[in-house]
Chain A
Amino acid sequence: MAIILSTILTSVLGYYTLFFIIVAGSFAIIPGMTLLISSYASVLTTVPRLFLFILLVFAASIIGDIGTYFIAKRFSVSVINYLKRYKWFAKNEGKARSSVRNYGFYFVFVTRFISGGLGPVVNYISGFERLNSKKFILAVLLGEAVYALLFCSIGYIFKDTWAELVSFLQYSFVAILLIVIALYVGYRITKFYRRK
């Protein structure tokens, strides 16, 4: 299945198209992006080509993420003002902003390679909540380096079995993230319960 998918995709899509799809993947959720990247890597034939492909994925992801962040930042005031019309948002906006400032770096870093769906959402939130741009860019550089290296190498090394391995990693990463969030919620519950 993996071999058929790689053959079809690589014959239909060129490198430029792939580059634009990866950039677009930072603006909107595109299902199967990681599978597409690993699939492409699986048909590469030499290490220098793999290296160039990793660079392409890395560059496209960074351009997309940073572009989304600055666009969101540009419209931050108008979007936040619009959302403030809702009571629940106005009430919790301060808390959300301080959370983004405190944990934003880690969240941006982790969501680069944890799941394709979270990346664009976090890009917009970081821009709207005006996360420090240096912090955002550093987290994006580190996170996307892990993403590009990990998923391209898996495709290249596990030529015939990459699809299952990529799915395994993605599910495991999201499960770990959920467990961490659940632990945090549990901690909040006990803290809240003890409070008089």
Chain B
Amino acid sequence: MVGKERVKRIILYMALLLSLVLLAFVLSKSAVNHYHSFKDQQREIKNANFTQIESWMTPRTIIRRFNLSESDLVNELKTNSNKTNFRVPLDSICKKNKLNCSLVVEELNKKIV
């Protein structure tokens, strides 16, 4: 290969390498930022200070956060453990079981006090 063409090719390769490294750096920085946001959100959710049970909470959240026994919760929802989906919010379960959700929430809050 002629000298001039060789130099041209090397410059082209170097430019490509530089742009790849720069792009990789920018993306890595974004990845790190997203990771920190993820960790922050996890921490926030873990440390969130809910003092009362609310209708949007799922049975799983209520059991974990308020140390309420599964049987108490299931009794209040007038169903049984096998039938209850622990990832569905209380208001959906109430709707399905034709219960007054605000009353159920009130009763549950009395239990945790």
Contacts and interface: CB of A to CB of B under 8 A. Distances in A.
A185 B16 contact: yes
Contacts of A189: 10, 13-14, 17
29 contacts: A159-B87, A160-B41, A161-B42, A161-B45, A164-B34, A164-B37, A164-B38, A164-B41, A165-B34, A167-B31, A168-B31, A168-B38, A171-B28, A171-B30, A171-B31, A172-B27, A172-B31, A175-B24, A175-B28, A175-B31, A178-B20, A178-B21, A179-B20, A182-B21, A182-B24, A185-B17, A188-B13, A192-B10, A193-B10
B91 to A, nearest CB: 13
Is chain A's interface secondary structure helix, strand, loop, or mixed overall? helix
A33 to B, nearest CB: 17
A188 B20 CA distance: 14
Contacts of B24: 175, 178-179, 182
Interface in A122-169: 159-161, 164-165, 167-168
Max count, chain B CB within 10 A of own CB: residue among A159, A164, A188, A193? A164
B13 A192 contact: yes
A179 B23 CA distance: 9
Interface string B36-54: 0110011001000000000
A189 B14 CA distance: 8
Contact of A181 (B20, B28, B35): B20
B42 A178 contact: no
A46 interface: yes
B85 interface: yes
A172 B10 contact: no
Interface residues of B, number: 24
Contact of A186 (B9, B17, B23, B85): B17
Nearest to A166: B34
A45 B87 contact: yes
B76 to A, nearest CB: 20
A186 to B, nearest CB: 6
B2 to A, nearest CB: 13
Interface string B63-84: 0000000000000000000000
Given A168-B38, A186-B17, A192-B9, 17 more contacts: A45-B85, A161-B42, A167-B31, A168-B31, A168-B34, A171-B28, A174-B27, A175-B27, A178-B20, A178-B21, A179-B20, A182-B17, A182-B20, A182-B24, A189-B10, A189-B13, A193-B10
Contacts of B42: 161
B55 to A, nearest CB: 15
Contacts of A188: 13
B11 to A, nearest CB: 10
A91 to B, nearest CB: 13
Contacts of B30: 167, 171
A144 B101 CA distance: 42
B112 interface: no
